[in-house]
Amino acid sequence: PRVTAELRRLAERYLPFPPVVVGPGTRSGMPILYDDPKEVGADRIANAVAAYDRYGGPVIVVDFGTATTLDVVTEAGEYLGGAIVPGIEVSFDALFGRAAGLRTVEL
């Protein structure tokens, strides 16, 4: 969020099309069947829209990053929600930091 405005200016300057910054209120065309749609991260909605556009539904989207997110889209293209769990590196750090008998391995 701290660099969004600067990234938008960069994209406007160097890309041949206007950037779309996804956030609360952005119309994605996908109904969000979640208690409070504003609580769902823009990255998760963008992933869901892209996966549904590419593969249709139903689809489960898995995104591996600092956190691993799993999101579900119905056959009709509705975002149902999902789960957020620690990412692989975060999990490795916690596991090796708390299990004295385990050796660290390269991922």
Annotation says 43 is catalytic: yes
Give the three-class secondary structure for 21: coil
b/e sequence 74-104, b meaning 16+ C-beta within 10 Å: eeebbbeebeeeebeeeebeeeeeeeeeeee
Q: Which of 35, 36, 43, 53 is catalytic?
A: 43
Active-site residue list: 43
